[in-house]
Structure 1
Amino acid sequence: MTTSLGVSFTDDVLEARVQAGVDRVETRLQAAVNRDERFVAEIASHLLNAGGKRFRPLLTLLAAEFGDPARDEVVEAATVVELTHLATLYHDDVMDEAPKRRGAQSANARWDNSLAILAGDYLFALASDIVADLGPEAVHIQARTFSRLVRGQIHETLGPAEGGDPLRHYLGVVADKTGSLIAASALMGARESGASDEVQAALGEYGERIGSAFQLADDVLDVAADSETSGKTPGTDLREGVLTLPTLIAIGSTDPADARLRELLATPLTDDDEHAEALALLRAHPAMDEARAHVQAEADAARALLDKLPDVPAREALRALCDVVANRLT
């Protein structure tokens, strides 16, 4: 099986087991969101039915391979992390005033901000109800993860403190908003399968590293990729004035030759000519190679953590995720 992230499984037994697990999680998700009255179910299932990579449940299932993957608690844990992820998407779309999500109309655009926020809250309540049956430690993991998700959103909204390092601030936001839930996905899969404490710790850190690496790779691709290969409009973050890894590195340059680029990056680039100029300057800037090196370092750190794990087929699948990060940037 090749996932939507391009991960290939070379072990047929592992492939079949993970696919069966993904199918069970999908069924569990539908049952969770469709159990209430019609309208509540409709708005709660809106983004679920729009599709998605289901990366977090997949990681939970792979992490469970280091214990007993057949435990029912593994599917419950995978359902929890995906419901939590979906909840954050509803809230993110309100914060960003996004009109679309996964190619469909966002909940806030289809209904309104208040209902979108309530739908996100409802999904988190569903996740909390399920995680409560997994025991106090699972509840702690869920609560701490959600705390980091909210903290990351607050820090992103406020921006770096006066005199603070904008790049360090941004990397912290990425770790909290993206890395934390992916770390929890791997940690909970390992925990609910009965894996050892050492394996749980390694997989949790692996998830944090690989999650941040994927987000930072997206930052690079937003600048470097063309629309024909990526399927996305290049420079979207530039146009919206969103500062990401390569732009923050470029802004930090003290080279007088970069004065024009720093000037362009100081504001949203709504003018097409200025947007094109900034995109060309940034693509040719050393900041791009520095950003790629940072992503590669995160992927390499994630890969190194796998050496602490037992040599089972799932370890190779997790290693393949590290290769996916690197291959996306070439």
Structure 2
Amino acid sequence: MWTVADEELSDWLAERRAATEELLRSTVDGSGEVLLDTVAGHLIAAGGKRMRPALALLAARFGPEPDGRRVLEAAALVELVHVASLYHDDVLDNADRRRGAPSANARWGDRLAVLGGDYLVAKAAILGAGLGPQAQRAQAETLARLVRGQVSEAAGPAPGQDPEQHYLAVVSDKTAALFGLAAHLGALAAGATPAATAALTRYAEQLGIAFQLADDVLDIAADRAASGKPDGADLRQGLRTLPVLRALRGTGERGPRARLRRAVMAGVVAGATGSRGVHRAALTLLRRSPGLSEGRAEAERYAARATADLGVLPEGPARAALAALADTVVGQVGTASTRAA
């Protein structure tokens, strides 16, 4: 778990995160429709890492007004958009669990889950209206990227497109965009300079890619207890994540890569039909493949890029905390990869 070394900053962050949590809950309550409040507040109440609000709050430390109400609104806004995307993702994936609880679609059906997500997007837009036109534009552009990424993932690579580049473009839109928005709005709300805001946004986007690549590795390397989700959940859905793409490189019909390719395809089918033995065999081969170590190396590379983007910011506890966050994101991958090997 990520910790902030500086005691003063840690206390400040804890207090501001608690205030953000209160704002989140009050924002989704009071629609006048009890069922809507219940559905929309379901995943908010379930908790989560709240990494995106934390990014917004830490980015605000580089401006002259980090304690303002606008910073809390920025932090709450990005979490509302994130949770809304989870509602929609769970409907598309037919997922039945999220954050240790039944998904909204599993409890109330797809229609209400989608409407709950839409409501959260609307409430986020209301918060964004108070942050000014620049924030509203950034929010709208991020929403467009989230949708583009989802559609691109569903469509798959275009003919002749490199699958790895396609996957990284999807990750940039589906994950990194919201990380970038969090830092951008936090800095903007606190009155940070344009140069600092741009650097923080770049940092957060690179961090978002590292975070997703690390999650890709954990999906293969970690067991259910460590990852909080079923082993090989991405494989069950047929997702060709970066570690899988690296493991399957090559077009030969014979040899280890060809055997792995056949096992992975069988594992995807088995995951969908419930044949655990075949799915487990595919996971075992993936864990022994070079894709795992190469995926980890890519996560580390993006984390290093993120840390490098912090170099133009003034030194201090906030910058150190952001650097430590990048280290934590890739650190958990090293532990899981070693255990899998």
The TM-score bracket by the shorter chain reads: over 0.9
1:67-113 Cα offsets, whole Å, 9 max, x none, are 12112110011111111111111111111111111111111111111
| CA shift for structure 1 position 145 | 0.4
More displaced, 225-234 or 238-247?
Answer: 225-234
Matched, 1:105 2:109: no
1:303 to 298, 307, 318: 307
CA contact (8 A) 1:187 1:201 kept: yes
Change (3 A) 1:126 1:196: same
* Mapping of residues 109-128 of structure 1, within 5 Å: 109-128=106-125
Aligned-partner residue type, residue 21 of structure 2 = E
2:55 to 59, 75, 90: 59
Structure 2 Cα separation of the partners of residues 125 and 43 of structure 1: 14
3-state SS, counterpart of residue 161 of structure 1: coil
* Mapping of residues 1-330 of structure 1, within 5 Å: 6-37=1-32, 38-67=34-63, 68-254=65-251, 256-257=254-255, 258-267=257-266, 268-270=268-270, 271-330=275-334
CA contact (8 A) 1:66 1:312 kept: no
Aligned-partner residue type, residue 6 of structure 2 = D
Structure 1 Cα separation of the partners of residues 261 and 269 of structure 2: 12
Structure 2 Cα separation of the partners of residues 230 and 100 of structure 1: 14
CA contact (8 A) 2:176 2:209 kept: yes
What is the root-mean-square deviation in Å for CA atoms of aligned residues? 1.4
Structure 1 Cα separation of the partners of residues 141 and 69 of structure 2: 23
1:11-64 Cα offsets, whole Å, 9 max, x none, are 121111111110111111111111212122111111111111111111100000
Aligned-partner residue type, residue 206 of structure 2 = R
Structure 2 Cα separation of the partners of residues 24 and 56 of structure 1: 15
3-state SS, counterpart of residue 5 of structure 2: coil
Structure 2 Cα separation of the partners of residues 231 and 104 of structure 1: 11
Structure 1 Cα separation of the partners of residues 265 and 202 of structure 2: 34
CA contact (8 A) 2:210 2:330 kept: no
3-state SS, counterpart of residue 36 of structure 1: coil
3-state SS, counterpart of residue 329 of structure 1: helix
1:292-316 Cα offsets, whole Å, 9 max, x none, are 1111100110011111111121111
1:227-272 Cα offsets, whole Å, 9 max, x none, are 4544543222223322111111122224542111111223514133
TM-score by length of 1: 0.95
Percent identical among aligned pairs is: 48
Aligned-partner residue type, residue 169 of structure 1 = H
CA contact (8 A) 1:190 1:200 kept: yes
Aligned-partner residue type, residue 178 of structure 1 = T
Hey, what does 1:3 align to over in structure 2?
none
Structure 1 Cα separation of the partners of residues 223 and 101 of structure 2: 23
Structure 1 Cα separation of the partners of residues 288 and 313 of structure 2: 40
3-state SS, counterpart of residue 35 of structure 1: coil
Structure 2 unmatched runs, 5+: 335-341
CA contact (8 A) 1:238 1:269 kept: no
CA contact (8 A) 2:20 2:76 kept: yes
Structure 2 Cα separation of the partners of residues 111 and 147 of structure 1: 27
Aligned-partner residue type, residue 27 of structure 1 = E
Structure 1 unmatched runs, 5+: 1-5
1:155-213 Cα offsets, whole Å, 9 max, x none, are 01111112211111111111100000011001111111111111101110111111111
Structure 2 Cα separation of the partners of residues 81 and 231 of structure 1: 23
Q: After the TM superposition, which parts of structure 1 deviate over 4 Å for at least 4 consecutive aligned residues? A: none
Structure 2 Cα separation of the partners of residues 24 and 229 of structure 1: 30
CA contact (8 A) 1:93 1:108 kept: yes
Change (3 A) 1:288 1:241: same
3-state SS, counterpart of residue 61 of structure 2: helix
